[in-house]
Each structure stands twice: as C-alpha cells, then as structure tokens.
C-alpha cells in the first residue's frame, strides 16, 4: 500500500471540504486552529458555495497536475529510469566512501593523539618514580645524618657526665680529707 505524502493529504482534505459544502468552510476554519484572518475573511465573503467551488477547483488542478506527472513518468524510458536510479545509488556509495575515509582519518588522528598522551603519561610516571627514588635517597641521607648527630650528642653528653663525675670525685676526695683533718 502506497503511503500518502503530505501534499496528497492536503488535497484530500480540500476535496473532503469541497464535498461537505456549507459545512466545509466551518470545518476548514476549525481545523486551522485559529480565528479568521485575511484569508478566512475572503472565504467568508465568498460564502460556503464559493468556498466549495474554490476547493473543488483546487482539487481539480491538483488532479490534473498529478495526472500529467504520472503520464510523464509512464512515457519515460524504463532503462533511463533504471540508469538514473543506479546513478543515484553510485552517488550515495561515493558519498559513503568519502565519509568512511574521513572517519578513518579522524580515527587515526585520535589514535595518534591517544598514543602520544599515553607516551607522555608513561614518561611522567617514570619521572615520578625517579623523583620518588631521589626523595627516598634524600630521606635516607637525612635520616643517617640525624642518627649520626644523635650519636655525637650522646657521646658528648656522656663525656660531660664522665668529666663532671671525675672532676667531682677529684675535688671531693681532697675536700673530704681536708674536712676530716680540720675536724
């Protein structure tokens, strides 16, 4: 079954309106969904019969033009029609091929960009790993220096303690002897 196109539906509607006669104009205005404008005022002035005549004339003109189009199509050589259709199909395939080539080039460009970004990300990861290794080495150096500093401070504290102990022992023995001698 052939699908009706918009043009066919319009002319079928006008034909229906023409057949309805006096109610046709009211139906037309109701279907247009708006209050009477300049064109509707012209239709009102013609009256229902005039409107029906105009609608009938429109249907007749459309039918005549459609008939001429069909006669022209029937007179056309089937080989030429087939050749024209084949040409359209070939044009469509050419456009599709062009589009596919463009899409392929775009895809290749995107893949190249993706690969470049992945390479850059890998390089950044390597730099980050190197920086982490350097940071670890610096931390170890600082930790070793800190441990050595702590050991040196402990040795110095023990040295001061022992020197203080020796000095107090060295001073307390003669003082103790002197106190014992005085008492």
List per-block mean pLDDT (blocks of 10 residues) for the chain, which spans 183 residues: 56 59 57 55 59 72 83 80 91 94 94 93 85 81 81 91 86 83 82
Q: What is the pLDDT of residue 99?
A: 94
pLDDT at 27: 59
- Residue 175 has a pLDDT of 83
Which of the 8 DSSP states describes residue 2? P
- For the entire predicted model, the pTM comes to 0.35
């Amino acid at each position: 079954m052939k699908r009706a196109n918009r043009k066919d539906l319009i002319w079928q509607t006008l034909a229906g309106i023409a057949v309805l006669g006096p109610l046709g104009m009211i139906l037309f205005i109701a279907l247009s969904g708006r209050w009477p404008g300049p064109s509707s005022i012209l239709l009102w002035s013609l009256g229902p019969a005039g409107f029906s005549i105009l609608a009938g004339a429109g249907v007749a003109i459309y039918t005549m033009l459609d008939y001429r189009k069909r006669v022209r199509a029937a007179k056309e050589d089937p080989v030429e029609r087939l050749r024209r259709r084949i040409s359209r199909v070939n044009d469509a395939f050419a456009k599709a091929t062009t589009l596919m080539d463009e899409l392929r080039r775009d895809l290749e460009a995107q893949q190249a960009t993706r690969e470049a970004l992945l390479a850059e990300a890998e390089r950044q990861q390597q730099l980050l790993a190197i920086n982490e290794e350097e940071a670890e080495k610096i931390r170890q150096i600082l930790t070793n220096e800190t441990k050595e500093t702590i050991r040196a401070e402990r040795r110095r504290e023990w040295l001061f303690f022992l020197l203080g102990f020796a000095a107090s022992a060295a001073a307390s023995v003669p003082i103790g002897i002197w106190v014992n001698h005085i008492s």
